[in-house]
Structure 1
């Protein structure tokens, strides 16, 4: 028996690859296994190679694996593209219909199973993915009945006959595969899982759920990969609590509509990717100068322009911090797991209202669309904090003066009311303004208002729960690995291997990108011989931000990957070992 394995299914987009992985994973999740998945897909509706790689384990996993144990192929291209990942002794389970072949020198086994023919016998070739699920189950030594409830939930609305047909497809695939395996049946049988129930979700769903739990009742957005699932989730859920979603004509409208709704007192968000955020920049500045709360989710993808819309990248970092013209207070938060994505979504609304500024929740495609096991969420952690907005308060009448919405205060945060509040009338404008909102070009007023806005975030670092996630066992480290967003699990796995090789390794994962957590990160950098910043971009954006804020440029190097694929643990391990040996630190 084995404690973990890696399974991948591939074929042409639109022929059930995603549902194959989904059904396979849900059943294993309910048995208590930990899972981590990453989906490779083309930027078109149908056609083009797609695959879904799933890691299954009896212990927690937060990265895709270096190699592959089982490859399920619906076409020859799947074998050709993914064969190099298979380890010695791996298995290819392929549809017999296309006469699959593997290299003659291969040290893996090929099993041809008539996915399409079996499905057609049952009434439709569309069920070939269920035959594939059954064949995979036989390799793992799983009882086909573990899929009964999953199939009932997915196909139940179509009637009992459809449910029975799909279960029959699974059973036939399993039986055929068992006959092919012979005495090798249960070739890769998994150790029994603990049976505990855990969540299994993508980051986008966690963010949407967090927004709902954090009091959001309106979303304005325009569909874009890889952010659309947030809108799709909330379209279903918000109406149940009196909220709604509006699909706008573009991202400019989405952002300005979100600002208007927040001004009216409704917690509102918008979500997009790099191209959409570029269109929002002027509106983000409007949020900053009018001190109106705004929550934006940026799901990073390959750029520039349309770029690689369905591939992994982390290249929006500088744009999120410095993209707006002029200078405004802004917060950029970067969760690294689905659990953090949920809690940080809640906190984003609290911070936006407490500090009356735009908050960007920054993710990447791997975190947004990769599906992973998550521990049950603790709803007792949820707090709703609205800062200086009191919906029941009534400001005192100040003679003929309007309400001082932009009053200069010591903490930089002005009193706030929503439209219609008695004695709360004030101007709101995107030009510089005095305390009542009335436009003003006075030099003294400009300095007072700018200073007020810019000091409002002074207390944020001390209030943010975990600005830097630290796994630092060593007072002095040979290597400090630094990353953000989805690279956390991959770095942790590489770190374990480096430790086993004799190196002292610490890990810092930055979760509060801006304002930068200098105090939390500086001691780790100072006490490391070498700092390696791991990021999916071509220019080392995070490394440059660290150098700008902390110095120590002589010991900071970048390990970059920008081919559209996520990092693998072995890549980070090899890079660190090579760097340490070449620099003579050990």
Structure 2
């Protein structure tokens, strides 16, 4: 028996690849396996090669695998494009319709299955995804009852007849390959999972659930890859809790509408990707100047401009920190796991209201869209802090307004919701005095700027870094952010076997930068390696800006639109050492 296995399905976009993967992986999750998925898809609705890769394990995993055990191919392009990943003795399950051929240099066992023919016998080629799934499932020797249950849940809304035909397609695909192979393949028999209950979701769903748990009741957003699932999730669930989602005409409207809702006292946010973040910059500046709390999620993708809408990148760091004109305080936090996506959203809403400023939650495409197993969430950890809110205000003197922007020791002024008796004040995007009245007075300007920026001195974030540092003076300190953490850990296991000692730090607070927390790890490292999905080493530049250590720092950069593989980080680190 084996403890883990990698499976991939490929075909043309719109051909059922996504639904095949969804049912196959959710069935494995039901059995209790840990999963980690990666979607390679085209930036169009239909056509263009797409593939979904799932890593299955009896133990927790947070990375895609270097190699591949089973490839399911709906066309020859899927074989040509992906067969190089197959390990020696791997398996290709291919639709017999296109007369599949294995490239000469690939050592793999081919199983041509009449996937399309089975589907057409049942009335439509749409059933071929289930025939392919059945063949895969049968080779692993897994119980069909579990898979059929997932099929019922997926297609139940379409009626019993459709469910029955899908299940029949599963059965026929399974039976054909079992007859061809002589039974399940022993070398692909998975050991039993640990039986622990797990979640199986994408980061966007965890972000949306976190917003809901944080008390958010309004989201305004414009659809954009890879952020749209956040809005889609909340469209379904937010109304059940008295909330509303509005699809706006653009990202400018989305951010300003969310600012207005927050000003009105409703926890609100928006979510987008790099191009949308660019359009939001003036609005983010408005939130900073008016000291209105707002949460913005940026799910990074390949840029610039339209760039690579469906591909991995981590290149928005500088934009998030410096993108607004002028200078305002803001907080940028970067979750690195599904669980952190949930808890960090709650903390983001608290921070936004505690310090009355914009908070940007930074993810990347792999974390946002890669479906993976996660530990059960602990709702007892949820704490709501709405910050310095005031009520029962004294009567104002004649011709006076409430000092909404009063100078305070930590820069955070008392906040009132609209309609609060004796709380009337002026709000404007131009510089203003304590009552919010426009002011160009030089002394007031300096004092107001100092007041706003002072807030960052008091920011405290849960786990600004996460350090796994078993060595006092490691050969390599490897630093990353976002979805890269699990891949780094897997590469480290190989490095340690080679006698190269490693420590690992995940940076979770991007701004204000966690200088004091990171410094001791940098000081004791012999060499520092910063791993990031961009071309200009933005995270490494931040480290050098705040702490130095450039003389012992090395970069591992990848910006071709694909996530890091463990072997890539391993090989690069070997070269550094």
- TM-score, normalized by length of structure 1? 0.97
- d(CA) in 2 for partners of 1:35 and 1:143? 18
**1:418 alignment partner in structure 2:** 417
Give the equivalent residue in structure 1 for 2:501. Answer: 504
Q: Aligned equivalents of 1:433 and 1:161: distance in 2?
A: 67
The alignment partner of 1:296 has SS state of: strand
**Which residue is 2:348 aligned to?**
348
Aligned partner of residue 5 in structure 2, secondary structure: strand
Q: 2:167 — aligned with what?
A: 167
- Offset of 1:184 from its aligned partner? 6.2
Aligned to 1:254: 254
User: How many Å separate the matches in 2 of 1:427 and 1:471?
Assistant: 49
1:492-528 Cα offsets, whole Å, 9 max, x none, are 1111111111011000000011000011111111111
On the 8 A contact 1:252/1:280 being kept in 2, the answer is: yes
What is aligned with 1:4? 4
**Which residues in structure 2 correspond to 1:107-126 (within 5 Å)?**
107-126=107-126
What residue is the counterpart of 2:435 in the other structure? 436
| Paired residues of 1:139 and 1:187 also in contact (CA < 8 A) | no
Indicate conservation of the 8 Å contact 1:30/1:195, yes or no: no
Q: Specify which of 504, 512, 516 is matched with residue 513 of structure 2.
A: 516
- C-alpha RMSD over aligned residues: 0.9
**2:453 paired residue number:** 454
8 Å Cα contact 2:139-2:183 kept in structure 1: no
- Structure 1 unaligned blocks of 5 or more: 581-586
Q: What does 1:151-550 align with in structure 2 at a 5 Å threshold?
A: 151-182=151-182, 185-390=185-390, 393-400=391-398, 401-460=400-459, 463-550=460-547
What TM-score comes out, normalization by structure 2 length? 0.99
Q: Any idea what the Cα deviations from partners look like across 1:360-408, whole Å, max 9, x if unmatched?
A: 0000000000000011100000011000124xx1221231221000000
Q: CA deviation at 1:579?
A: 1.1
Query: Partner residue of 1:584?
Result: none
Q: How many Å apart are 1:540 and its aligned residue? A: 0.3
User: 2:220 aligns to what SS in structure 1?
Assistant: strand
C-alpha contact 1:198 1:376 (8 A) present in aligned 2: yes
Answer with 100-109 or 86-95: which moved more: 100-109
Q: CA deviation at 1:65?
A: 0.2
Per the alignment, in what secondary structure is the counterpart of residue 270 of structure 1?
strand
Give the distance between the partners of 2:333 and 2:141, measured in 1 at CA.
43
**Would the aligned equivalents of 2:84 and 2:106 in 1 still touch at CA under 8 Å?**
no
Residue 75 of structure 1: aligned partner:
75
- The 3 A distance-change label for structure 1 pair 358 and 209 is same
| Aligned partners of 1:394 and 1:424 also within 8 Å | no
Please tell me whether residue 575 in structure 1 is matched to residue 548 in structure 2. Answer: no
CA distance, structure 2, for counterparts of residue 408 and residue 149 of structure 1: 61
100 and 242 in structure 1: CA distance in 2 versus 1, 3 angstrom threshold: same
Does the 8 A contact of 2:141 with 2:184 survive in 1? no
The equivalent residue for 2:13 is 13
Residues 477 and 502, structure 2, Cα contact 8 Å, conserved in 1: yes
The alpha carbon displacement at 1:153 in A equals 1.0
Give 1:183 shift: 5.9
Q: Compute the displacement of 1:82 (Å).
A: 0.5
Aligned to 1:27: 27
Distance in 2, Cα, partners of 1:299 & 1:183: 44
Deviation at 1:139, TM superposition (A): 1.6
- The one-character-per-residue Cα deviations of 1:118-143 (angstroms, maximum 9, x if unpaired) are 11111211111101111111221112
Asked if 1 retains the 8 angstrom alpha-carbon contact of 2:80 and 2:103, the reply is no
Aligned residues: 576
Structure 1 residue 464: Cα displacement: 1.3
For 1:184 and 1:467, locate their aligned partners in 2 and report how far apart those are by CA, in whole Å: 48
2:260 and 2:392 map into 1 onto residues whose CA distance is: 21
Displacement of 1:197: 2.1
Alignment check: 8 A CA contact 1:312 1:564 kept: yes
How far apart in 2 are the matches of 1:415 and 1:476?
A: 47
The 2-side partners of 1:2 and 1:119 are apart by 32
The more displaced of 272-281 and 97-106 is: 97-106
State the 1:308 CA deviation. Answer: 0.3
Kindly indicate whether residue 549 of structure 2 is the aligned counterpart of residue 552 of structure 1.
yes
8 Å contact kept, 2:140–2:184: no
Query: Deviations for 1:260-282, whole angstroms, at most 9, x for unmatched residues?
Result: 00000000000000001101101
For residues 123 and 383 of structure 1, what CA distance do their matches in structure 2 show?
Answer: 53
Aligned counterparts of 1:154 and 1:106: Cα–Cα separation in 2: 35
The answer as to whether partners of 2:2 and 2:187 remain within 8 angstroms in 1 is no
8 Å CA contact 1:33–1:57 kept in 2: the answer is: yes
Once residues 103 and 497 of structure 1 are traced to their aligned partners in structure 2, the CA distance between those partners, rounded to angstroms, is: 30
In structure 1, distance between residues paired with 2:520 and 2:95:
55
Shift of the alpha carbon at 1:298? Answer: 0.3
Give the CA deviation at 1:457. 1.9
Deviations along 1:146-201, whole A, 9 cap, x unmatched?
11221111111222221111111111111111111126634411011122221100
Distance 1:224 1:470 in 2: 33
CA distance in 2, matches of 1:506, 1:104: 42
